[in-house]
Structure 1
Amino acid sequence: MRILLINPNTSQVLTEKLDEAARATLPPDVDLVSVTAEDGFPYISSRAEAHCAGVGVMDTLARLGGEFDAAVIAAFGDPGLLPAREAFDMPITGMTEAAMLSACMLGHRFAFVTFTPRMAPWYNEQVRQAQLTSRFSGTFTPDVPLGKIGEIDSDLREPLIAECHRAMEAGADVLILSGAPLAGMAPSLRGEIDAVLIDPVQAAVLQAAALARLAPQGASGGSYRRPPGKPSTGLPEALARHIARED
């Protein structure tokens, strides 16, 4: 089985962190290929940036998706996830959705623990969209300055641990370490946090592998049925051909 991991951020450092974290839990028969967005933002941190990044995700799937059994959108907030499921007949998972659904199978209430309050409203919207509000204890973030994006997990380790404890006090028994810069951090905290910790990219990759085995054609029916072909103007060539059904 081959899985394509798409980092919609343009930071190669984040791709390497995501790839390393994902490989730590991959089944032995899964081949993972990780790619970095060529255009966009070093780190997506708003709805607008996520919307722009979604086009790049779709283009990557149009160019490379035919070589894979499933794909993972490896950015919290899942940019382009729902449109991608509509346009491509393969299983596609996103870090936010996969982490939330895993959390509901591992405990009663979950919380996001992340590194900046700027993204909390957007993250909370993901919970409402998934209709999981009754299982959600909130988003918890330290109020401290950010350093280098690739070193947040080490620079903010103690403040993040403190936020994990705050989330537990608010009733969460499953904590999702949210955001690509925190990829791979969960295993190092399991001896210090008395709650279930979820690494979103690991959840997304494992679910992608499971879905590829359950339904090789992906989410191609019902409301996600692929739309009729349509010409377009100004889109990347591969994506334009795919949407026009010329692929």
Structure 2
Amino acid sequence: MPSLLVINPNTSTSVSALLQQHVQKEAGSALEVHTLTARFGAPYISSEASYAVANHTVLDAWAVALTQRPKPDAVLIGCFGDPGLFALREGAGVPVTGLAEAAFAAAAWHGSFAIVTGGERWRPMLSRLAGALGHAQTLAGIHTVAPTGAELAADPAGARKLLAQACRDAAERFKVQAVILGGAGLAGMAADIAADVPVPLIDSVQAGAQWALEAVRGTRREAGESGFGVAWENVSWEMAALP
């Protein structure tokens, strides 16, 4: 059976459990899903500093994964912001994406889209990522709510009410054809509020799982070369052992 490695770039094991549950549910029996939690960094990525450290944690997690089990057939970075995406894609030798890139592609299929997520400081970070991934024109706007993704996940009932209104507001304000509900901690919530939103609502975790299914079938982006070619110093022994 093909395997998918999901890397959680923050240190929250509850987020890892949520990712494992929802990605495996979406993949069914077509994929063996294994989720790995970052060994260091922030419990929740919500700033430029925590994002910068998360880039390192993704490479470290990849290195650790290679010491624990056979090389996976694809990698999904389980953060709506995709830290480490370009670095890991450069040398993993297997298809790699993140929740944001997968969700952007799914939403763009409908036309222009907006993002709803938790944490005001994500706005410029996601705008920059959208530009880097070629979605500067299709991303019409970003609507952030005050609670972070972690805080939203801690109050599911309150989060659903708040997010449903935010998604309606985003659809109306930006006049889009789709809205992305972004965040690993919000996995599964889109299905609960989709009927209250006037345009298709994209769950970033579900989009990531769908990408993985297509990746292992060979219908997605081909993998890059295997190996990073860096003589690492003062990193974990697992990273030092990377080719």
Settle same-fold status: TM greater than 0.5: yes
Q: Is the 8 A contact 1:69 1:216 kept in 2?
A: no
Q: Hey, what's the Cα distance between the residues in 2 that align with 1:217 and 1:110?
A: 22
Closer/same/farther in 2, CA of residues 28 and 196 from structure 1, 3 Å limit: same
Q: Give the TM-score normalised by the residue count of structure 1.
A: 0.88
* Structure 2 residue aligned with 1:82: 86
* Structure 2 residue aligned with 1:67: 71
Closer/same/farther in 2, CA of residues 117 and 218 from structure 1, 3 Å limit: same
Q: 1:155 deviation in Å?
A: 2.7
* Structure 2 residue aligned with 1:211: 215
Q: Give the TM-score normalised by the residue count of structure 2.
A: 0.89
* Structure 2 residue aligned with 1:55: 56
Closer/same/farther in 2, CA of residues 196 and 81 from structure 1, 3 Å limit: same
* % identical aligned pairs: 30
Q: Hey, what's the Cα distance between the residues in 2 that align with 1:231 and 1:63?
A: 17
**Aligned letter for 1:204?**
G
Q: Hey, what's the Cα distance between the residues in 1 that align with 2:179 and 2:156?
A: 15
* Structure 1 residue aligned with 2:45: 44
* Structure 2 residue aligned with 1:98: 102
Q: Hey, what's the Cα distance between the residues in 2 that align with 1:124 and 1:140?
A: 11
Among residues 171, 178, 181, which one is paired with 2:182 in the alignment? Answer: 178
**Aligned letter for 1:156?**
A
Partner deviation per Cα, 1:140-172 (whole Å, 9 max, x = no partner): 123468884632543332221111111111212
* Structure 1 residue aligned with 2:17: 16
**Aligned letter for 2:62?**
L
Q: Hey, what's the Cα distance between the residues in 2 that align with 1:3 and 1:104?
A: 24
**Aligned letter for 1:52?**
V
- How many pairs are equivalent? 238
Closer/same/farther in 2, CA of residues 146 and 74 from structure 1, 3 Å limit: closer
Q: 1:4 deviation in Å?
A: 0.9
Q: Is the 8 A contact 2:12 2:43 kept in 1?
A: yes
Closer/same/farther in 2, CA of residues 239 and 218 from structure 1, 3 Å limit: farther
Cα RMSD over matched residues? Answer: 2.3
Q: Is the 8 A contact 2:180 2:201 kept in 1?
A: yes
Q: Is the 8 A contact 1:212 1:218 kept in 2?
A: no
Consecutive unaligned residues of structure 1, counting only runs of 5 or more, are none
* Structure 2 residue aligned with 1:236: 236
**Aligned letter for 1:35?**
L
* Structure 2 residue aligned with 1:167: 170
